[in-house]
Amino acid sequence: MAAFDVAKARAHFPSLKSGFIFGDNAGGSQVTQGVVDRISDYLLNTNVQLGADYSVSVESTRRAMTEAPTEAAKLFNAASPDEIVFSHSSTMNLENVARALEGDIKAGDEFIVTSEHEANVGPWKKLAARRGAVIKTWKAMPTSEENPYSLSLKIAELLPLVTPKTRIVAFTACSNILGSIVPVKAVIAALRADAKAKGAPKVEVSVDCVAYAPHRLIDVQDWDVDFAVFSFYKVYGPHISALYVRAATLRASLTPLVHHFLNYEHTAYKLQPGGPSYESAYATTGAIAYLESLAPAPAHDLKQAFAGIAAHEQTLVVPLLGFLTHPAQRARGVRVVGEEQPGPERVPTVSFVVVGPKRIRSRDVVGVFDRRGGIGIRFGHFYAYTLVRDLSPEIDIEDGVVRISFVHYNTVEEVNKVIEILKEVFAA
């Protein structure tokens, strides 16, 4: 495979020409020129009501209702565009799923959730409260005796939670705090086998791919998942979310949320009440076209594109983790929150805290960067409230962790500039 051409990638992003170092990509990536062009084109040339017979409406409908879900299905490897839903955010998409499932949930059903981002936790907790279901938590556990903050989700901690009453299992494909990739296929295979052996009649699985989709290619068919979601505004596109719903689950478990007279019983549009931002839905096709352009012609295969992304991102995470885990930083009280070692199961979303006698608040670390200017990183709990709350009594939930999140358009030179400032912070 040819070396990843980061300069070629960066040329698609007008905002990168400013020289600002974007190190908060897990909160929202930059958008490509192709995305911006599509938004303008839709609003200037096809901004009419969908579903009419006149030519402009026909084109508007094609863009928003056919082209957008067809292209988004590629990023899920969905069997059909009829399994794709657009909504304003991943939180809203999963809230809609939970609402549509309400009639299929009974008192005593059990939901297993993680302590990760509330988008794939909160809707299930609220559904459980409405229907009398029981919530169980699959917790990330320490993997290092030297660093109690080095956490990860393990199958061994999941399976004891499974019982004959297990109905929903919701977890993350990649943590937006820990930066580690969960082996989704292996987790679901083990889960389904265990649930079947224990006599659970119906288990549906929801996977949060928001922190995964910028770095790796989703494969819902290979994973055997019922629901999967990500946000395009973290995958180089506009502020809109795409949701996958397995066709069989769509028919068997979910009631429509749309107006009663709309005949969308057998398509995912039954979960799309009121319609999303159609210009944004159409603009997502620009993000997918960009990702395809990263792979060699003529195939422009997405698997190859993401292989190049993953390879380049290792050049970003290796020096950052190497610096943060150096004995000098460990002695200073620096602790990586999450997997400490680089590798194929680690993305360049890196969180850390500075603890001990010379503790530095996360807000104060970030404050140095803010005063210097030119680099954007962030502190907090990043909506993984329970995970950060449970890290340690020493950690204030509102102060949280420092998070530095790079993606493939970042460069090694940018990483080194961040490291140089961190050296000064830790030396103070």
CATH code, domain with 213: 3.40.640.10
- pLDDT band with cut points at 50, 70 and 90 for residue 428: confident
pLDDT higher than 80, residue 62: yes
pLDDT at 352: 98
Pair (321, 280) in one structural domain: no
Pair (340, 235) in one structural domain: no
Burial of residue 86 (number of CB atoms within 10 Å: 0-12, 13-18, 19+)? buried
Determine the straight-line distance between the first and last CA of the chain, rounded to whole angstroms. 44
pLDDT at 1: 57
What percentage of residues in the chain have a pLDDT greater than 70?
100
Cβ neighbors of 378 (< 8 A, separation 6 or more) are 24, 27, 366, 402, 403
Contact between 242 and 221 under an 8 Å Cβ cutoff? The reply is no
Q: How many CA atoms lie within 13 A of 274 on its CB side?
A: 7
Amino acid at 133: A
Kind of pairing between the strands at 401-405 and 378-380: antiparallel
Burial of residue 413 (number of CB atoms within 10 Å: 0-12, 13-18, 19+)? exposed
Q: What's the predicted TM-score (pTM) here?
A: 0.96
Cα 8 to Cα 11: distance, rounded to the nearest angstrom: 5
Domain range spanning residue 358?
6-30+301-427
Kind of pairing between the strands at 21-22 and 375-376: parallel
Residue 36, in any domain of the structure: no
Pair (26, 52) in one structural domain: no
Residue 35, in any domain of the structure: no
Residue ending a domain, choose from 242, 261, 291: 291
Element spanning 375, H or E? strand 375-376
CATH code, domain with 312: 3.90.1150.10
Pair (264, 352) in one structural domain: no
Pair (281, 168) in one structural domain: yes
CA proximity to 238, closest of 72, 116, 70? 72
Q: What is the mean pLDDT of residues 125-137?
A: 98
Total domain count for the chain?
2
Residue 37, in any domain of the structure: no
Pair (279, 420) in one structural domain: no
Residue ending a domain, choose from 291, 309, 337: 291
Residue 168, in any domain of the structure: yes
Pair (16, 58) in one structural domain: no
pLDDT at 298: 83
Pair (356, 229) in one structural domain: no
Pair (63, 183) in one structural domain: yes
Output the average pLDDT for the chain: 96
What percentage of residues in the chain have a pLDDT greater than 90?
92
Residue 1, in any domain of the structure: no
Pair (281, 248) in one structural domain: yes
Pair (123, 234) in one structural domain: yes
Residue ending a domain, choose from 233, 268, 291: 291
pLDDT at 113: 98
Q: Which two tokens stand for residue 371?
A: 């005063």
Residue 376, in any domain of the structure: yes
Cα 373 to Cα 109: distance, rounded to the nearest angstrom: 51
Q: What is the largest CA-CA distance in the chain?
A: 71
Phi/psi for 114 (5° steps) reads -105, 180
Residue 328, in any domain of the structure: yes
pLDDT at 274: 85
**pLDDT tens per residue, range 71-116:** 999 999 999 999 999 999 999 999 999 999 999 999 999 999 999 9
Pair (112, 235) in one structural domain: yes
Residue 38, in any domain of the structure: no
Contact between 42 and 65 under an 8 Å Cβ cutoff? The reply is no
